Amino acid sequence: MDELALQECLSDLKDLVDSRLKFYIEQSVPKHGQVAELAGDVLLAGGKRLRPLLVVLAYELVGGRDLEEILPLALAFEMIHTATLVHDDINDNAKTRRGLPTLHERFSQEKALIAGDWLFVQGFSLGGRLEGEVVTIIADCCGLIASAEFKQINHVMDLTTSPDDYLTIVKGKTAGPFSGGCEGAAVIAGASAEQREALLRFGTEMGISFQLVDDLLDIRGDERMGKPRGSDVYEGKMTLPLIHALTILHGPKRQRLVEIILGFSDSMFDELIELLTWADSISYTEILIKTHIERARSALDLFEESQAKHALQAITDLVIDRFE
Amino acid sequence: MDELALQECLSDLKDLVDSRLKFYIEQSVPKHGQVAELAGDVLLAGGKRLRPLLVVLAYELVGGRDLEEILPLALAFEMIHTATLVHDDINDNAKTRRGLPTLHERFSQEKALIAGDWLFVQGFSLGGRLEGEVVTIIADCCGLIASAEFKQINHVMDLTTSPDDYLTIVKGKTAGPFSGGCEGAAVIAGASAEQREALLRFGTEMGISFQLVDDLLDIRGDERMGKPRGSDVYEGKMTLPLIHALTILHGPKRQRLVEIILGFSDSMFDELIELLTWADSISYTEILIKTHIERARSALDLFEESQAKHALQAITDLVIDRFE
């Protein structure tokens, strides 16, 4: 399948997801009023729709043919993802999201909190109509998001945070919805245990690399993030480049890095980059991203060549493209 | 059935609900850690378990016999209810709940917000395993809670709030979970359309009277509320006694009431009571409670005498007992 046709297929699928989300909100506004409008503003403000794309493609990869059968799960994961963004933005006191002011900035924290709840409810409303096994996957995934967020909070500015702590947080918070979406899709399509396990692994590895790219872009600055560079450092989040540099550096350099992490301000940015470069933490993170993407790709080896497989491979390329 | 046996039946049922909730949390802590612990602290801190009791009794009223079949819905509504309490307490900046410091006071707003999300997820996890029609009832009910909370926020200190606005808010926020629980129980028990409608009505009327009692107790002060008297007035919530008094009072008395509502402090409490007494707003609210309780009771007329019916009638008495 040629590159152009593949991009068109991905773009058509994204358009379909966008139009279904829009339709869902339009139907909800007459029933639920302003809370549905505000939630819709965030939901429809853009976004790559990566989670729903993965869900649909994973379903097709194992032979699923009925889009209407899989779309509820795809939309459910996007709603739940957006709900967590709204609540995270409250907790991080973030000013912008996808280049727009956050809900709590535009309205109030009260309304943002409830709009997030509403999005959760809609996600579960869509997901709750699926078979019991899939409901369990969604619920476990959401439970682990909350659990991972607690761990992340407990590790804010914790200089002893290990790569293992980092992975536990990322697996729950970021990779969980990727792997849960892929696994749920496999169950709905009636996949074999082996296929299901491979898709779960694919989602996990994709999710980890995705978070690592986010970590990198936070340090590099990237306007596509729609938020100021260094936000994570400012919030005391222990991203992988920081964890790595804390392990590598010694003496006065490590001491200075600690000072920067504990009292970060924008004026320290160049110095931070210098220390991270000295420790090779940025290239280490880049290598790690490629390793996880490679693992995601090999999880697909099990499956025969198909349009869905090529599309999933193309999405792994997109993750790399985000930072290269 | 004599009074003593009835009280024993209600108390046994409440004990069963309590022990199942406790078991649920104990099972969750190893999986989800601190977030499950904190959520469990609120969930297990007490509470009348009114929603689960109504769910189980409504199920039995229409012939349901298998407790294990109905308990997931009963527990789901208690989890969702507790989730909304945790998030409401953040939004109201409440210091205590059920006599204990609120989660956001004990830990942080961040953790409280996520613990509330976790409780929502567990509620949906239990509810999402039920038949599609029941999932729709739960989701609609939760969507309307959010919608009603928005309306309540938009009416804070709004002196033009009408009894009709008030009822829309209360039907979504308080009565919705009562009626949704009863209706869901009817569906699970395989009730007729007529029985289902009667139970929905029973739940709605119970919920409205329940909120009216809350409104009264906020003004009267009641240590069982576990929060300081006048909290609603302080937050600018337009409770029914206030809405009524604003309609009845004229001239300087109304002017003074407006001043008190817009700038309430504890020292104005006696004056507020005086104005509400002058307008007969407290007895008006008491009469309204009895009217709605009466309606709830007549919704039960359809059903033959049974232990479940007597227990539901006893619960309507409890609502009246709360303020008499």
Taking only the tens place, the pLDDT of each residue in A135-192 is: 999 999 999 999 999 999 999 999 999 999 999 999 999 999 999 999 999 999 999 9
Q: Which candidate from B118, B128, B144 shows the least CB-CB separation from A143?
A: B118
Predicted pLDDT at B98? 79
pLDDT for res B320: 84
Indicate the burial class of A100 (C-beta count within 10 angstroms; 0-12, 13-18, 19 or more).
middle
Task: Provide ipTM, 2 decimals.
Answer: 0.94
Beta-ladder partners of A100: A97
**Among candidates B87, B111, B143 on the partner chain, residue whose Cβ is nearest the Cβ of A32:** B143
> Tokens at residue A107, please?
């309205």
3-class state of residue A135 by DSSP? helix
Q: Distances from the Cα of B257 to the Cαs of A125, B33, B46, B233, B269, in angstroms?
A: 43, 49, 36, 11, 11
Contact B216, B232 (CB under 8 A): no
Q: Cβ B35–A121 below 8 Å, yes or no?
A: no
**CB spacing of A150 vs B117 below 8 angstroms:** no
Per-residue pLDDT of chain B (324 residues; tens, 9 = 90+): 678 888 999 999 999 999 999 999 999 999 999 999 999 999 999 889 999 999 999 999 999 999 999 999 999 999 999 999 999 999 999 898 878 899 999 999 999 999 999 999 999 999 999 999 999 999 999 999 999 999 999 999 999 999 999 999 999 999 999 999 999 999 999 999 999 999 999 999 999 999 999 999 999 876 665 667 888 999 999 999 999 999 999 999 999 999 999 999 989 999 999 999 999 999 999 999 999 999 999 999 999 999 999 999 999 998 888 777
Q: Is B144 on the interface with A (CB under 8 A)?
A: yes
- Can you give the residue ranges of every domain in chain A? 3-323
What is the distance in angstroms between the CA of the first residue and the CA of the last residue of chain A? 24
Which residues of B fall within a CB distance of 8 Å from A153?
108, 110-111, 114
Q: Is the Cβ pair A125, B135 closer than 8 Å? A: yes
Burial B247-281 (b: 16+ CB within 10 A, else e): ebbeeeebebbeebbeebeeebbeebbebbeebeb
Q: What is the distance between the alpha carbons of residues A25 and A14, in angstroms, rounded to a whole number?
A: 17
Other C-beta atoms lying within 10 Å of the C-beta of residue B211: 23
Bridge partners of residue B149, in order along the sequence = none
- From A35, A36, A120, residue closest to B117, measured CB to CB: A120
Q: Of B132, B170, B133, B141, which is closest to residue B77 (Cα–Cα)?
A: B141
Closest by Cβ to B91, choosing from A31, A110, A128: A110
A129 touches chain B (CB under 8 A): yes
Q: Which residue has the tokens 């403000």?
A: A45
Q: Provide the 8-state DSSP code for B63.
A: T
Radius of gyration of chain B (CA): 20
Total Cβ atoms within 10 A of residue B283:
12
d(CA A193, CA B16) in angstroms, rounded, equals 38
Give CA–CA dist B180/B15, Å, rounded. Answer: 23
- CB-based contacts of B145: which residues, under 8 Å, 6+ apart? B84, B172, B173, B176, B177
Structure tokens at A270: 């160049």
B24 touches chain A (CB under 8 A): no
Q: Could you give the CA distance from residue B79 to residue B97 in angstroms, rounded to a whole number?
A: 16
Q: Which residue type, as a one-letter code, is found at position B160?
A: T
- For residue B226, what pLDDT is reported? 62
Residue A47 phi/psi, 5-degree rounding, is 110, 150
Interchain pair A149, B35: CB under 8 A: yes
Q: How far apart are the first and last CA of chain B?
A: 24
E strands, B47-111, in order: 96-97, 100-101
Chain A positions in Cβ-Cβ contact with residue B136 (cut-off 8 Å): 125, 129
For residue A269, the tally of other CB atoms under 10 A from its CB is 16
What confidence score (pLDDT) does residue B268 get?
93
B236–A contact, CB cutoff 8 A: no
* Number of residues in chain B: 324
Nearest CA in chain B to A87: B113
Of B36, B129, B143, the CB nearest to A121: B143
3-state SS, residue A314? helix
Strands B96-97 and A100-101: unpaired
* Whether A36 and B111 lie within 8 Å, measured CB to CB: no
Give every residue of chain A whose pLDDT is below 70, as ranges.
1, 222-227
Taking the C-alpha atoms of residue A153 and residue A236, their distance in angstroms, rounded to an integer, is 9
Paired tokens of B143 = 């969507």
The rounded distance, in Å, linking the Cα atoms of A241 and A289 is: 12
- Written out in words, the top-level CATH class of the domain with range A3-323 is mainly alpha
β-strands A100-101, A96-97: how paired?
Answer: antiparallel
The runs of H, that is alpha helices, within B240-306 are 240-248, 251-262, 269-278, 281-299
Using a CB–CB cutoff of 8 Å, tell me whether A152 touches chain B: no
> Six-digit token pair at A245?
């540099």
Tokens of A236: 């005391």
Alpha-carbon dihedral sign for residues A234, A237, A239, A241: positive
Q: Given A83, A121, A144, which is nearest B142 (Cβ)? A: A121
Which region holds residue B184: left if phi is over 0, alpha if psi is between -120 and 50, else beta? alpha
d(CA B292, CA B205): 5
Taking the Cβ of residue A29 and every Cβ of chain B, the question of whether any pair is shorter than 8 Å is answered with no
Looking at residue B18, its pLDDT comes to 97
The one-letter amino acid code at A213 reads V
Closest CA to B322 of B235, B232, B206, B155: B206
pLDDT of residue A187: 98
Full-model pTM: 0.94
Three-state SS at A222: coil
- Chain B CB within 8 Å of residue A149 CB: yes
Number of inter-chain CB pairs under 8 A, A vs B = 139
CB contacts, 8 Å: B142 with chain A: 117, 121, 125
Q: Are A282 and A216 in contact (CB under 8 A)?
A: yes
Quickly tell me which residue has 């090529």 as its tokens.
Answer: A310
Where do we find the tokens 């303020």? B323
